[in-house]
Structure 1
């Protein structure tokens, strides 16, 4: 059985640069590692910052880093996280997913984006654990990604850690706007729905899938996610955990960023 986590990865490289506004996020991300294996066999990362037509998986032996952010201090373009890839495992996962009817293309040249290396610099700073990154399908269809997570759960090796990297709230304009009564209402009502969906023990697998299928029509949903790429990794992780029969013991965070672990 794998351990599964969803983390909010913060603003670009700022969590690892000592930014004061990220102190709570950094602390909670580090705390999550106490509930994860110290030396997993592999980390499988689903980042909000890689979308492809269909699904792809990194298959290079030594992926480079992709500094996919702009306008930050020079130090942020010198960050290093030399985690090895796992080409043979990528091929094995792709073959097993194909057998279930889900095609994953092998990508031998793609590097690791900041949705991967920023949280892992905090969680597994030694960078000595093999990492595979899986893209989002550009459809961003919640049911497609839920079903992908169900199938992925069946093909993971023993002692793997699956990490979704995104945000539970990702309305960039609102991040920097005054927090009005209406904004606070919209954020809180959706976060309550999200918490119920992910953490309530009486939400079955079928219920969860049905709830995610309609997330954008939930009050506050589309306000919190004008575009849902930062939410989709949570859907994949929730499906993986549900398929493996895991319940959620831990939820932490403030109103704009939640972490979950199974």
Structure 2
């Protein structure tokens, strides 16, 4: 497998780039990631911030940025990340997934915040793949399986979400409920389980301890389903720390 697959918790809006104290450990982790990865020929980001009825690939040659957040200082809307697109790869994946391409959309912050930290040179061709608006766990597991013909290419797949995402509970002391759910994710993804057991656990994630406490809506978790299904192997736990005062995790497959 030449491809590398990464699931990350990408933090709160633009705060990682604004010096926020509750993102310091996450920022240090992401700034160091490129020393642990083989530099890819292309990057495919599955962002929690794009949902479509059919799998859709961003196919702009030179995408702009979507500042898809509000209420932040002016500098949050002056961030630049001029990474090139990869229309050919976008069309290839759209065909593989029986999906669509979008030539007009720009990169959202689920892409440009982490990549600004990981690859500040913005020199790697990058595309985004949407989530499905069904928000079905099984549909997203199946998307990962459909991407597996690309595993022999030097592509970095990034599932950009957040392993805890209850907006009302950030900036509060972490609780036992979240601890239990993060342990469920670690056990499911980073211990040696049969593939069917791993699939059963992730597809049925709502049965995990305190699942809806941690994810009232599942869009920040679903990139993990795609990554785990695409890899079909045990992950390495590469991040286990607090973001916005909540324990969050990240996984790497290679």
Q: For this structure pair, what is the TM-score category when the shorter chain's length is used for normalisation?
A: over 0.9
In the TM superposition, residue 258 of structure 1 has moved relative to its aligned partner by 1.2
SS class of match (1:34) = coil
- The reply to whether residue 200 of structure 1 matches residue 201 of structure 2 is no
For residue 126 of structure 1, the aligned residue among 100, 121, 129 is: 121
TM-score between both structures, scaled by the size of structure 1: 0.91
Q: Which residue of 1 aligns with 2:81?
A: 81
Determine if contact 2:186/2:237 at 8 Å carries over to the other structure: no
- The reply to whether residue 175 of structure 1 matches residue 176 of structure 2 is no
- The reply to whether residue 247 of structure 1 matches residue 238 of structure 2 is no
List alignment gaps of at least 5 residues for structure 1.
none
Q: Distance in 2 between matches of 1:141 and 1:163?
A: 19
Q: Distance in 2 between matches of 1:74 and 1:53?
A: 33
Q: Which residue of 1 aligns with 2:249?
A: 258
Determine if contact 1:253/1:259 at 8 Å carries over to the other structure: yes
Q: Distance in 2 between matches of 1:19 and 1:232?
A: 26
For residue 158 of structure 2, the aligned residue among 147, 160, 163 is: 163
TM-score between both structures, scaled by the size of structure 2: 0.93
Q: Which residue of 2 aligns with 1:109?
A: 104
1:6-17 correspondence runs (5 A): 6-17=7-18
Determine if contact 1:93/1:156 at 8 Å carries over to the other structure: no
Q: Distance in 2 between matches of 1:205 and 1:104?
A: 26
SS class of match (1:261) = strand
- The reply to whether residue 50 of structure 1 matches residue 50 of structure 2 is yes
In the TM superposition, residue 139 of structure 1 has moved relative to its aligned partner by 0.8
- How many residue pairs match? The answer is 248
Q: Distance in 2 between matches of 1:7 and 1:32?
A: 11
- The reply to whether residue 235 of structure 1 matches residue 236 of structure 2 is no
Determine if contact 1:41/1:157 at 8 Å carries over to the other structure: no
Change (3 A) 1:94 1:156: farther
| Superposed CA RMSD | 1.4
Query: Which sits farther off after the overlay, 102-111 or 63-72?
Result: 102-111
SS class of match (1:139) = coil
Q: Distance in 1 between matches of 2:31 and 2:120?
A: 10
